[in-house]
């Protein structure tokens, strides 16, 4: 079984390394556009779909697409564009998109403020600010021998790459995929953290549009449950992939 894993904003493919060792399958974990020490600077949604499609050439069936947060957004983009390709999806803290135009405009404005902050203050200062955000703060519960290497890799990000990611692939820049979810016909596992109320609600709503989905809520975890509470996530994922 091949698993293509797509990381979240400010992360990188190696974030999955310790978790992947606990799971079944052969994992492929690339750096997404906008991320890494030498990032692809074109982060537009169509570029992201093409990027994911390029990664599929090294996979062997059965093929599973795994996405966390921003990576789940990229996974949904590809899965709705190529609904017959994947044998299964695993989505951690997913959001199919912004439906309300006013909310989309407000999000675009806030993402632009963040992008400018990265460019003006630099990556180290932005990462300190980002770690303090309520959605991200629970990542401090990740075991230190996993979190410290993640922080080291994040420090290698570039200001231009992260700013481009926000402007071109932030939630406001991506299409609303709620109407497209019914195209996904493969089994889907949705995982959210108990403490992440917003994304738990989103996942429950997604269940109404996905024909073969299940939703697992991980106790005592926030937005990054697969690293905050890895044992519980591994159990759910291994059961799903039997």
Structure tokens that stand for 91 in this block: 């989505």
What's the CATH code of the domain at 172?
3.40.50.1820
Arithmetic mean of pLDDT, 56-64: 95
Q: What is the pLDDT of residue 241?
A: 86
234 DSSP 8-state letter: H
Arithmetic mean of pLDDT, 57-79: 97
Using omega within 30 degrees of 0 as the cis cutoff, is the peptide bond preceding 67 cis? no
Write the pLDDT tens digit of every residue in 203-220: 999 999 999 999 999 999
Q: What is the pLDDT of residue 162?
A: 98
Q: Bridge partners of 90?
A: 66, 189
Write the pLDDT tens digit of every residue in 192-205: 999 999 999 999 99
Confidence band for 48, pLDDT divided at 50, 70 and 90? very high
User: Computed over its alpha carbons, how large is the radius of gyration of the chain?
Assistant: 17
- Alpha helices (H) along the chain: 17-20, 45-55, 70-81, 101-121, 123-131, 134-137, 144-154, 159-169, 197-206, 225-228, 230-240
Residue range(s) defining the domain that contains residue 92: 2-240
Q: Cα(70)–Cα(32) distance, rounded to whole angstroms? A: 10
pTM over 0.95: yes
Q: Cα(212)–Cα(11) distance, rounded to whole angstroms? A: 29
Q: Bridge partners of 92?
A: 68, 191
Arithmetic mean of pLDDT, 173-195: 97
Tell me what the pLDDT averaged over the chain comes to. Answer: 97
pLDDT higher at 3 or 242:
3
Count of structural domains, the chain: 1
Q: Cα(181)–Cα(125) distance, rounded to whole angstroms? A: 37
Whether the Cβ atoms of residue 32 and residue 74 lie closer than 8 Å to each other: yes
Q: Cα(242)–Cα(239) distance, rounded to whole angstroms? A: 5
pLDDT tops 80 at residue 242: no
């Amino acid at each position: 079984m091949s698993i293509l894993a797509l990381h979240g904003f400010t992360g990188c493919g190696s974030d999955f390394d310790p978790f992947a060792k606990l799971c079944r399958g052969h994992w492929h974990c690339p750096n997404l556009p906008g991320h890494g020490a030498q990032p692809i600077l074109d982060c537009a949604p169509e570029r992201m779909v093409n990027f994911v499609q390029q990664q599929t050439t090294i996979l062997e069936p059965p093929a599973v697409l795994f996405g966390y947060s921003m990576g789940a957004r990229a996974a949904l983009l590809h899965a709705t564009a190529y609904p017959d390709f994947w044998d299964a999806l695993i989505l951690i803290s997913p959001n199919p998109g912004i439906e309300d135009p006013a909310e989309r405009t407000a999000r675009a404005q806030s993402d632009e403020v963040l992008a400018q902050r990265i460019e003006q203050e630099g990556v180290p200062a932005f990462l300190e600010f980002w770690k303090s955000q309520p959605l991200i703060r629970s990542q401090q519960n990740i075991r230190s021998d996993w979190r410290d290497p993640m922080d080291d890799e994040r420090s290698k990000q570039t200001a231009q790459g992260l700013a481009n990611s926000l402007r071109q692939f932030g939630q406001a820049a991506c299409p609303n995929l709620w109407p497209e979810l019914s195209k996904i016909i493969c089994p889907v596992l949705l995982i959210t953290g108990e403490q992440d109320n917003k994304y738990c609600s989103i996942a429950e709503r997604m269940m109404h549009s996905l024909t073969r989905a299940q939703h697992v809520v991980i106790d005592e975890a926030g937005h990054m449950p697969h690293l905050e509470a890895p044992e519980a996530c591994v159990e759910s994922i291994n059961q799903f992939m039997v």
